[in-house]
Structure 1
Amino acid sequence: MFNAENLSKRLDGFRNRLAELHLEAALITKRESYMYLSGFTGTSANLLITSKKAYLLTDFRYMEQSARQAPLFQIVQHKPDINETIGELIHSEQARSIGFEDHAVSYSAGRALSDRFKDMEFKGMGLAVDDMRSIKDEQEIEIIAKAVKIADDALMQVLPLIRPGITELDVAAELEYKMKKLGAAGPSFETIVASGLRSSMPHGVASDKKLELGDAITIDFGALYNHYCSDITRTVFLGQPDKRLIDIYNIVLEAQLTSERGAVRGRTGREVDRIARDIIYSKGYEGKFGHGLGHGVGLEIHESPRLSMSGEKALENRMAVTVEPGIYVEGLGGVRIEDTIIIRDDKPQVLTQAPKEIIIL
């Protein structure tokens, strides 16, 4: 999936981070982290990385695959008790301070490590790998762009199929089928199709509700392509909607376009979120935009950075983020519009190309 040069750069960068944290080794257990650092895409692996050595521990099922995908790592088939193999390798490397992904390890698993290896010091590394993953290389951006295009194309193929009487689940099924036909492994998360009064629920996953004339239909979905995610939301109308929904749509579109242009290098997620929030609140909808403006996207559908009221991290070039303001009015409906973009100095690269003007089917 990844070329050897990029994998080598990642491994070097992570070792530099270990030195900054004064750690002699690191144990990597989160799937997205070990995929990113090693290139191995199987579902069971641990990495043990020191300043000189890099081990990938897996079971019999993945020995051949891991050897092909992770050329920079020494492949080790672990014993039935993986902690026994981890201990042997740590002792062979004479490591005493070992970092682990404390945000991704359960309390019981963390205690098991510290209780078993009392002569070693396990230290949480926080978001060391996640922070690296937040800045994409150009190969990753190409993959995400393809995932975005698959979702764009699927939406445009499904819109003509939307008509009164079909269900939200029908729309979701058609989207997921089209994405797979276009090359996706599947959806990147559970598809949201929320119509009529249900469109006021930001995460109203597809139900058996039938579409009716006058419905606002919020469609939030994405494609999983080569292990990377895309994320898009469009709100369309089936027949002529309530005029208030048209007004809301125009407000959300203004907020989306303005904050998207404002997503530039150096601004914090909080500052970009504020651009959209100020527009929505100034139009009388304070309290009707209750989620963050957006989030990072990559190997996970939600990752660093956060574009929200708590987003303190400054945006950097080659971050992939979503911009998705919305207004939700119980008893009326809701509107959300979302693109996936890449931070590029003072002019973001907008990957999502599906139209954003009002669509009345």
Structure 2
Amino acid sequence: MKERIKKLRSKLDEEEVNALLINNPQNRQYLTAFTGTAGVVLISDNSAKLITDFRYTEQAEDEATDFEIVEQGDNKLETINRLLQEEGIEKLGIEAQGISYRKYLQYQKELDVELVATTDVVKSLRKVKDKSEIDKISQAVEISDYAFEQIQEQLQVGAIEREIALELEFAQKKQGATKNAFDFIVASGTRGAMPHGVASDKEIEAGDLVTMDFGCVYQGYHSDMTRTVMVGEEPTAKQEKIYNLVLEAQQAAIAAIEPGETGAEVDKVARDIIAEAGYGANFGHGLGHSVGLEIHENPRLSRKDDTVLEAGMVVTVEPGVYIPDWGGVRIEDIVVVTDDGCEILTDSPKELLVLD
């Protein structure tokens, strides 16, 4: 954590502030390792404080070992103001995306400092993951791989989408996941045309393609994977064609990932392959996104993101083709950018599985 604090302090001058107040829960955990649900972080050139209430002080002492733990008392803003005055802070950076307008007005009223709105100061540090973060993401991915292997026996004609989602959740939690990464997508048959077709009460039918997009949280870090399988019958020529097209686009995009490429450039690799096959209009979302303490982080693999990829960035690669009244296919892996390319963390097979 000391290295993260050091990097953040180097940003204070750039933001023209004497200290930064951090409300965002994921940013708080990133800097402190504190996993409680209440608390704010105050970082200056001379101190690093975690301010929390009586319920969490003992936990904070155990987890946030590089921070001074301050019990907030009855009035949190009064406590923060006292700390600011003790350090002589004149310009305080606040997370513009981390507080409501109502809270901002409270800050103006109760804190005797000049407030400076900052944007994504800590999140900019979170773009590149260190080894401990990659290890946790890798473990989360391993848990999801296990769940996919386990669910295959239950993917049968007559199975209910919602029950498949529940079994995926059970399998992940049995392996140490603390919670779901998001509401799982299980979309069979024509519902596969909905990229975010959250699991419904639909029964899986013979000849359905079934798309499952799921993930878990392990020690605060997320996994995210998608596989599309056949149930009950061999694929038709069109099903096989669309599946192989999406797989080709995904593999080409993964091969294009390396430091120096931009998110937009990698997105274009997959998008061009799908467009040249005549399905460009059926791939309407970005190619991928970073994952970490949140399920959707920056950078993105998207036509709109010119962020240059760096070693240590972790991103999903998830092209898809969605055809109304027919169905869809998506395949998604998590990869980590390395010095000379990338490493695929997701280990589940990607050939089209036909399940009885």
> Structure 2 length as normaliser, TM-score?
0.97
Question: In the TM superposition, what is the alpha-carbon distance from 1:23 to its structure 2 partner?
Answer: 1.2
1:224-280 per-position Cα deviation (integer Å, ceiling 9, x unaligned)? 111100000000011234422211111100000000111111111111111111111
Q: State the Cα deviation string for residues 67-93 of structure 1 (Å, max 9, x = none).
A: 110111111111333111111111111
Residue 134 of structure 2 corresponds to which residue in structure 1?
141
1:308 alignment partner AA: S
Identify the residue that residue 179 of structure 2 maps to in structure 1: 186
Q: Residues of 2 paired with 1:201 and 1:162: CA distance? A: 19
Partner of 1:131, secondary structure, is helix
Partner of 1:253: 247
Instruction: For residue 204 of structure 1, give the secondary structure of its aligned residue in structure 2.
Output: coil
Q: Which residue of 1 aligns with 2:39?
A: 45
Which segment drifts farther, 291-300 or 90-99?
Answer: 90-99
- Matches of 2:140 and 2:330, distance apart in 1: 20
Matched with 2:280 is: 286
What is residue 197 of structure 2 aligned with on the other side? Answer: 204
Q: Distance in 2 between matches of 1:151 and 1:133?
A: 23
Cα distance in 1, alignment partners of residues 100 and 242 from structure 2: 43
Q: Offset of 1:183 from its aligned partner?
A: 1.4
CA contact (8 A) 2:22 2:42 kept: yes
Amino acid at match of 2:244: N
Take 2:107 and 2:239, find their aligned partners in 1: how far apart are those partners? 55
Matches within 5 A, 1:1-361: 7-117=1-111, 119-238=112-231, 239-361=233-355
User: Would you say the 8 A contact 1:293–1:323 is kept in 2?
Assistant: yes
1:189-215 deviations in whole A, cap 9, x for unaligned?
A: 111101111011001111111110011
| CA deviation after TM superposition for structure 1 residue 319, in Å | 0.5
C-alpha separation between the residues in 1 aligned to 2:3 and 2:204?
50
Q: Quick one: distance in 2 between partners of 1:246 and 1:111? A: 58
8 Å Cα contact 1:245-1:333 kept in structure 2: no
Identify which range, 37-46 or 180-189, moves more after superposition: 180-189
Q: How many residues are paired up?
A: 354
Q: Which residue of 2 aligns with 1:4?
A: none
Q: What whole-Å deviation, never above 9, does each CA across 1:163-206 have from its counterpart, x for those lacking one?
A: 11110011111111011111111221111101111011001111
Q: Is the 8 A contact 1:213 1:240 kept in 2?
A: no
For structure 2, the 5+ residue unaligned runs are none
Question: For residue 206 of structure 1, what is the amino acid of its counterpart?
Answer: A
Report which stretch shifted further, 119-128 or 160-169. Answer: 119-128
Tell me the residue number matched to 1:3: none
Sequence identity percentage: 45
Is contact 2:78-2:110 (8 Å) kept? no
TM-score normalized with structure 1 length: 0.96
Secondary structure at the aligned position of 1:284 is classed as: coil
Matched-pair contact (CA < 8 Å) for 1:186–1:223: yes
Long gaps (5+) in structure 1: 1-6
Conserved 8 A contact 2:314-2:335 = yes
Q: Once the 2 structures are TM-superposed, how far is the Cα of residue 123 of structure 1 from its aligned partner? A: 1.4
**2: CA distance, partners of 1:170 / 1:320:** 30
